[in-house]
Amino acid sequence: MSQLIDRRQSAKKKSTVNRQRFLRRYKQQIKKSVLDSLTKKNISDIAKDEAVTIPKKDLSEPRFRWGKGGVVDRILPGNKEYAKGDTIPRPQSSEGGASGGDASNQGEGEDSFQFYLTKEEFIDLYFDDLELPDMVRKDLGKMVTEKSIRAGIINSGIPVNINVVRSLRQALSRRLAITASYRKKLEKTAELLANLKGQDKKSQAKREEYLHKIEVLKRKMKAVPFIDTVDLRYNHRIKVMLPATQAVMFCVMDVSGSMDEVKKAIAKQFFILLYLFLTKTYENIEIIFIRHHTSAKEVNEQEFFYSRETGGTVVSSALEMVAELIETRFPPEMWNIYIAQASDGDNWNADSPYCETLLQKSIMPYVQYFTYIEIMPRHHQSLWEAYQAVQEAFPNFAMQHIENIEQIYPVFRELFTRKTA
């Protein structure tokens, strides 16, 4: 039976197969280490490789060892300290020859194993149990996408699609079929040669004849090529049209004067985290960035995160723009609509009731999910109260408050935790 061993080097000379096996086997331990490390790093560092540490005890494998009791005979090498009949004290380390841990003045310690995750592996593990809630497919007949799928094996194709295993299997079958008659003749001739006993000239001539015939048969078998073009088999892939879902995410941020640099930094980090999550979770999703103070403006990603424009606060200006964009560019019958808003809650008091009306009549009936985070190290104001009324009327409206940067991750996970069936 032929065996094929793939010895091609993976990226940076690491075994991709073994790496993925390790990630699957110790997924819970690695994920716990990933979540713990997030409290010690900035959002901007998520896009970098990460070193995670796993306690050695979590990597231990079951094994057999000698138990206590019984009569054990030992042969010890010579030494300068003990003579025959002396009692040798028991070692102070743990029994069974366990490896020592990290040094400490309390006599306790623990070995650890450090493992480096790539950016993609780190994000996959962190977002493993998160999703956009209530993702609904709409207008399946109108929205389709092409997907390449495997469709069996064919006899022709391009080199990159060669199926090595099937090709070698076909080559082996061909060689066995072609050389079958040669092998039968070879076995028969070898048997005749073995049964030839005489030493006379006639027997000697027969022996030379058989040896020559065996040599000819072996050359013919070796002449059969190991692999031929007729043996090559290729993976066949075809493109099929599959229904697709369109989704749009509105990111709305308050940049008014009451939003100081600390609050803006928290909001920016929340949206950066959201942006990474969306681009990881959905390939085809459009993201709209809207900044507002007394007026709202649709901007690009760079301006959204780094512009220093400021002013007063009228939240309804942003909600009016969202409602207008939904009506003109993202009709609800064609798009799954999601909205995330970040603010410090400071708003013109007369504007908050209008925000509630806008949400209940012009926005919430058409969206799948609306998340609102309020960055406030102080008491809530009128905007929070207005949004509470919206939350009571619409189950797809979620709101949380953040007091400091350490709360970004827990709040984000609470807003987007995957719903169990």
Residues 354, 409: one domain? Answer: yes
Query: Is 362 found in the same domain as 279?
Result: yes
Residues 257, 359, single domain; the answer is yes
**Residue 407: CATH number of its domain:** 3.40.50.410
The model's pLDDT over 97-136, given as tens digits with 9 standing for 90+, comes to: 444 444 444 444 445 666 667 767 766 766 666 666 655 5
Q: What is the pLDDT of residues 153-199, one digit of tens each?
A: 888 888 888 999 999 999 999 999 999 999 999 998 888 888 887 77
d(CA 48, CA 266): 20
Residue 226 inside a domain? The answer is yes
Whether 121 and 214 share a structural domain = no
Mark whether 226 and 271 lie in a shared domain: no
298 touches 290 (CB < 8 A): yes
Q: Are residues 208 and 265 in the same domain?
A: no
Region 58-78: what's the mean pLDDT? 66
Same domain membership, residue 268 and residue 173? no
Answer whether residue 138 is part of any domain. no
Q: Which amino acid is at 270?
A: F
Alpha-carbon gap, residue 412 to 400, rounded angstroms:
9
Residues 304 and 341 in one domain: yes
Pull the structure tokens for residue 121: 């592996």
Are residues 229 and 250 located together in one domain of the fold? no
Q: Which residue has the tokens 């058409």?
A: 366
- Residues 253, 160 contacting (CB under 8 angstroms): no
**How confident is the model at residue 255, as a pLDDT?**
85
The verdict on 42 and 184 lying in the same domain is no
Quick one: 305 and 368 in the same domain? yes
pLDDT in tens, 134-151: 555 454 444 566 778 888
Among 234, 259, 278, residue at a domain's last position: 234
Does residue 44 belong to any structural domain of this protein? Answer: yes
Higher pLDDT, 274 or 56: 274
Residues comprising the chain, all counted? 421
- State the pLDDT at residue 99: 44
Contact in structure between 189 and 210 (CB atoms under 8 Å): yes
Q: Rounded to whole angstroms, how far apart are CA atoms 342 and 273?
A: 13
pLDDT at 143: 54
Q: Is 360 among the domain residues?
A: yes
pLDDT averaged over every residue in the chain: 76
pLDDT in tens, 11-53: 554 566 666 666 666 666 666 666 666 555 554 455 556 666 6
Amino acid at 275: Y
SS (H, E, C) the chain: CCCCCCCCCCHHHCCHHHHHHHHHHCHHHHHHHHHHHHCCCCHHHHHCCEEEEEEHHHHCCCCCCCCCCCCCCCCCCCCCCCCCCCCCCCCCCCHHHCCCCCCCCCCCCCCEEEEEECHHHHHHHHCCCECCCCCCCCCCCCCEEEEEEEEEEECCCCHHHECHHHHHHHHHHHHHHHCHHHHHHHHHHHHHHHHCCCCCHHHHHHHHHHHHHHHHHHHHHHHCCCCCHHHCCEEEEEEEEEECCCEEEEEEEECCCCCCHHHHHHHHHHHHHHHHHHHHHCCCEEEEEEEECCCEEEECHHHHHHCCCCCCCCHHHHHHHHHHHHHHCCCCCCCEEEEEEEECCCCCHHHHHHHHHHHHHHHHHHCCEEEEEEECCCCCCHHHHHHHHHHHHCCCEEEEEECCHHHHHHHHHHHCECCCC
Residue 67 lies in a domain: no
Among 147, 134, 222, 135, smallest CA distance to 178 is for: 222
pLDDT cut 90: percent of the chain above it: 17
User: Which positions ≥6 away from 212 have C-beta within 8 Å?
Assistant: none
Last residue of a domain, one of 185, 209, 234: 234
pLDDT of residue 98: 44
Asked if residue 356 belongs to a domain, the reply is yes
Total domains in the fold of the chain = 3
Question: Are 301 and 381 within one domain?
Answer: yes
Q: What is the pLDDT of residue 108?
A: 45
Q: In terms of pLDDT, which residue wins out, 142 or 282?
A: 282
How confident is the model at residue 320, as a pLDDT?
A: 95
Lowest mean pLDDT among 67-76, 101-110, 280-289, 342-351: 101-110
Range of the domain at 23: 16-59+112-126
The predicted structure's pLDDT at residue 104: 43
Q: Predicted confidence band at 264 (pLDDT cuts at 50, 70, 90)?
A: confident
Distance CA 59, CA 170 (A): 43
Look at residues 234, 253, 288 and tell me which one is the last residue of a structural domain: 234
pLDDT number for residue 97: 44
The answer to the question of residue 249 being in a domain is yes
Does 186 fall in a domain? yes
pLDDT digits (tens, 9 = 90+) for 330-378: 988 878 888 989 988 888 888 999 999 999 999 999 998 898 999 876 6
Sorting pLDDT into bands at 50, 70 and 90, what band is 290?
very high
pLDDT, residue 58, reads 53
